Copies of this chain bind each other. A is one copy, B any other.
Amino acid sequence: MTVNLKAPLKKNIINVPGFRFFTFGARIKLKNIKNDIVIVELGKKSKTAAVFTKNKFCAAPVLLAKDNLKSNDPRLFIINSGNANAGTGQKGIEDAKKINIELGRYFSLDPNLILPFSTGVILQNLPVERIKDSFKSNLTKIKYGSNWIDAAKSIMTTDTVPKAVSKKFNLGKYEITCTGIAKGSGMIHPNMATMLGFIFLDAKISKTLLKDLVRYVADRSFNLISVDGDTSTNDSFVISTSNDADNPVITKKDKMYIKLRHNVLEIAKDLAEKIVRDGEGATKFVEIEVKNAKNLSESKIIGKAIANSPLVKTAFFASDPNLGRILSAIGNAQLTDLDVSDIDLYLNNNIVVKNGMLSKRYSEKKAIEAMKSKEFKLSVDLKRGKEVATILTTDLSYEYVKINAEYRT
């Protein structure tokens, strides 16, 4: 069940100079025969910055990747699906290190220059021996992938569609190439975890600004989506640049940086939106805009309070313009000094609540009509500032309960 989402076309996904990948199967889940490992090689000039889950129960690969990122820029990523290596304690960290050491041997590389990413079942140990065996069969003669869609496919778990986006744009006279892949459809399938997002580009940029970029972009893309309000143990978002483009190195927050940031953000937002459209049991895609807020933080808090309310989400599912639930969710967000008698609500740009009360222009018939569509937009006007945030979310359907409840039964 996806909401207006199709797999990307091969011709639209382009290779970024300075990066190569290959993918193979290690039967991480014994039954699986699909490719479940992706290895990404990063050029020698490449730089990487990342943000990781804030879940305190964060997985072993997250801890190791964070640690390895502190020193030198990585030269290799290994991403596996099927097992999250989360809730595995010290053994989980040792397992991830073993894989890095083994992989380092094949590439004559310091294991600390390898970043691991895992997604899949929680509370199970990584099948280290099977992964090592798969290295034997696949790393002596590497078959490089030709299209990143194959990488996107290999990192899928409960996703129904691979997620990849590419873009070329200019910084002055210099052409920049950027490709992103992602996976996730909520923190979802029983014991499954993780949103993973990777963006590769070739623009020359200082490490300090790359770190700024990854945070800025994450906050305005992946951190603005919500399927079920749960942050997984393995969530990771990474931006790597090969520094292979011809532009002069960006070292300041100048026009060139702003333009780069804008374009990378477009890619990230597109990937994030695809995750929501592939959300578990989603039958609706809903944009929740919270505008004229004092600051970005309060617009996010209110947007997520609405997006995460089961009562609001079931009303979305039923195409029921249940405005009381939306107002109540806003009231529950517990913002200091929020004056609810200032609040207006719009459904697809038609006013439905004015100053905290039903608008005189409200038509229930029209509201139901609007919500019957697979996609609609809800706007909250707080009238107390200038900031705006848009949260993307889904409804809560029978299918959601089914997917999440019927796995074992």
Copies assembled? 2
Residues of A298-353 whose CB lies within 8 A of B = 309-311, 314-315, 317-320, 322-325, 327-335, 338, 340-341, 353
Q: Are B324 and A86 in contact (CB under 8 A)?
A: yes
Whether, in the assembled complex, A397 has its beta carbon less than 8 Å from a beta carbon of chain B, the answer is yes
Residues of A contacting B: mostly: loop
Q: Is A122 an interface residue (CB 8 A)?
A: yes
The verdict on A317 contacting B357 (CB below 8 Å), with A329-B230, A335-B56 known, is no
Q: Which of A193, A323, A408 has the most CB atoms of chain B within a 10 A radius of its CB?
A: A408
List residues of A (349-408) whose CB comes within 8 Å of B's CBs.
353, 355-358, 368, 396-398, 400-402, 404-408
Contact stretch, chosen from A108-116, A173-181, A183-191, A285-293: A183-191
Q: Which chain B residue lies CB-closest to A189?
A: B311
Instruction: Kindly name the residue among A55, A310, A353 whose own CB sees the greatest number of chain B CB atoms within 10 A.
Output: A310
Q: A134 on the interface (CB 8 Å rule)?
A: no
A51 interface residue (CB < 8 Å to B): no
Chain A residues engaging chain B, CB cutoff 8 angstroms = 54-58, 84, 86-91, 121-124, 187-188, 190-191, 193, 228-233, 309-311, 314-315, 317-320, 322-325, 327-335, 338, 340-341, 353, 355-358, 368, 396-398, 400-402, 404-409
Pairs A–B under 8 Å by Cβ, sample size 27: A54-B334, A55-B331, A56-B331, A56-B335, A57-B332, A57-B340, A57-B356, A87-B323, A87-B324, A87-B327, A91-B357, A121-B324, A122-B324, A123-B358, A190-B320, A190-B322, A190-B325, A193-B328, A228-B310, A228-B311, A230-B332, A233-B328, A233-B331, A311-B404, A368-B408, A397-B401, A401-B401
